Structure 1
């Protein structure tokens, strides 16, 4: 399959189970629960604590099971599911896969959203023939603006990959990549919101040091980020062109840009992404 982004689709998604709904799994779940997402409901989820499961009490679109109350929660959740999303911590992945392996439905697709766990490691714990697909989403999936990289394992067909791509296309852009690119996807878009929020933190603090109070600084920075992002979203121009449009020669913006570039932004971003990828590789090796 060509590397591409999936268009929004109205095709119904099949019954889905989610093992673990922490920060990333929870982001996916919230996106899938949106009223305009056509998915077979209820979505079955498992949580570690009974308190977390109780948060879904009364929800008609989610059935929550807790392993604290039911030791077979994960096994029960995957029965009948055509898509099984594994949202547990990387170091828990192999144990969870072994636990549910015997209860998977024939033809079910297993989807991992854990950083640092290759498809082959999951395939090794599953019965022969079970397809595995890695997905690396990010937290804006909660509002339908996610960016997800998707890579199929050795047994995943184009149809399996397309199904998973279709799922994540309901919560944003879904890009098919090679598996050797997944760690880089995690570094760019998976962790990317944190980089932007760090920028917002520092810019807000700088605005306060420039004399604005906390509310004023937050408003100025937040609206600037949101507005600039929407400007880019509605433009066919590159970020470089949009930046140049704001940067008049010998003007005030130019002076600020010069100072930022003197700080070595290019090298800084290279180092940051490399450190992110390196940590994913360490997790793969069990470090």
Structure 2
């Protein structure tokens, strides 16, 4: 099981082996890119430094002023910032929005090193679409992380494109292991990864919203309801994280026959949770497929 800190976050900077990560460039360091960057900057991570990053605004680049482990360039100040950043990089992470990926790839294609690995975290952009814009000898790997990566507790699916070797996919897996768990999957599973873990935190937060609202309707004030629900979710997640038992077993341990929990669980199950989750994941995958088609 993963080692966690006192506040429940995972200690960052843990990689499966001691191999050094090569020179890395990151195009875009917004929410997700920033999480990956934070993991790579952890002192425990052996990576060739400095890490090159690009931002759109000069103000965002200035946030890294004085950092010895990061070199930041802004496209606002330097129109060739992306091209400069990728030169000499063995790993290039595309942290831009899906509709920007192809334009960025075309922009940097001529400056990529032979043998470089381009990593895309964009939903709905296939490796084949990216490979079509790149010279021979440059590999593409897709990654689907989630927002808990910002605290080192992310879940990331990794899938290599046709151009990527097993070693290159494993390299990307090691990079994402710095911000949580990284699982290698087939590319035809990436949309399902997005549906399960990529969007998964939103489902948990929706549950928290509805449970908090129900607690308030049951007579608790806002602060009381939030405290009860939040700590229940955090505590249950940590209980599972520190256990080798399945969720079903852990649930049954709380559910005494003919008890109060059993009545609540039966009511939820009568609401068709299984079918509801199936429909929700299918809708998520369907939207990823629509994005792939440019819809």
Tell me the TM-score normalized by structure 2: 0.92
How many Å apart are 1:219 and its aligned residue? 1.5
Question: Deviations for 1:228-266, whole angstroms, at most 9, x for unmatched residues?
Answer: 111111111110110011001111111111111122111
Structure 1 spans left out of the alignment, 5+ residues: none
How many Å apart are 1:4 and its aligned residue? 22
Task: Give yes or no for contact 1:21–1:29 (8 Å, CA) kept in 2.
Answer: yes
Q: Which moved more, 1:119-128 or 1:60-69?
A: 60-69
Task: Give yes or no for contact 2:23–2:51 (8 Å, CA) kept in 1.
Answer: yes
How many Å apart are 1:58 and its aligned residue? 2.9
Task: Give yes or no for contact 2:32–2:150 (8 Å, CA) kept in 1.
Answer: no
Aligned residue for 2:182, secondary structure, equals strand
How many Å apart are 1:181 and its aligned residue? 0.3
Structure 2 CA distance for aligned equivalents of residues 12 and 32 of structure 1? 11
Tell me the TM-score normalized by structure 1: 0.94
How many Å apart are 1:54 and its aligned residue? 2.3
How many Å apart are 1:56 and its aligned residue? 2.4
Structure 2 CA distance for aligned equivalents of residues 213 and 31 of structure 1? 38
Task: Give yes or no for contact 2:114–2:137 (8 Å, CA) kept in 1.
Answer: no
How many Å apart are 1:3 and its aligned residue? 23
Task: Give yes or no for contact 2:27–2:82 (8 Å, CA) kept in 1.
Answer: yes
Task: Give yes or no for contact 2:93–2:118 (8 Å, CA) kept in 1.
Answer: yes
* Residue of structure 2 aligned with 1:116, choices 83, 101, 124: 124
How many Å apart are 1:161 and its aligned residue? 0.7
How many Å apart are 1:61 and its aligned residue? 2.4
* Residue of structure 1 aligned with 2:222, choices 206, 214, 225: 214
Question: Deviations for 1:127-174, whole angstroms, at most 9, x for unmatched residues?
Answer: 012111011111111222111111111111111111111111121111
Task: Give yes or no for contact 2:116–2:137 (8 Å, CA) kept in 1.
Answer: no
Structure 2 CA distance for aligned equivalents of residues 198 and 223 of structure 1? 15
Task: Give yes or no for contact 1:17–1:84 (8 Å, CA) kept in 2.
Answer: yes
Task: Give yes or no for contact 2:25–2:92 (8 Å, CA) kept in 1.
Answer: yes
Structure 2 spans left out of the alignment, 5+ residues: 6-10
How many Å apart are 1:31 and its aligned residue? 2.1
Question: Deviations for 1:162-192, whole angstroms, at most 9, x for unmatched residues?
Answer: 1111111121111111100000000000111
Question: Deviations for 1:185-205, whole angstroms, at most 9, x for unmatched residues?
Answer: 000001111111111111122
Question: Deviations for 1:70-126, whole angstroms, at most 9, x for unmatched residues?
Answer: 110100110111100011111111110000001111221111110001100000000
Q: Which moved more, 1:180-189 or 1:251-260?
A: 251-260
Q: Which moved more, 1:172-181 or 1:210-219?
A: 210-219
Task: Give yes or no for contact 2:95–2:122 (8 Å, CA) kept in 1.
Answer: yes
Give the direction of change, closer, same or farther, for the CA distance of 1:69–1:198 in structure 2 (3 Å limit).
Answer: same
Per the alignment, residue 187 of structure 1 pairs with 195
Aligned residue for 2:252, secondary structure, equals helix
Give the direction of change, closer, same or farther, for the CA distance of 1:35–1:207 in structure 2 (3 Å limit).
Answer: farther
Structure 1 CA distance for aligned equivalents of residues 123 and 3 of structure 2? 20
Structure 2 CA distance for aligned equivalents of residues 32 and 142 of structure 1? 12
How many Å apart are 1:2 and its aligned residue? 22
Question: Deviations for 1:20-75, whole angstroms, at most 9, x for unmatched residues?
Answer: 12222222122222232222222211111222222223333222211111110100
Task: Give yes or no for contact 1:4–1:175 (8 Å, CA) kept in 2.
Answer: no
Task: Give yes or no for contact 1:45–1:65 (8 Å, CA) kept in 2.
Answer: yes
Per the alignment, residue 158 of structure 2 pairs with 150
Q: Which moved more, 1:85-94 or 1:44-53?
A: 44-53
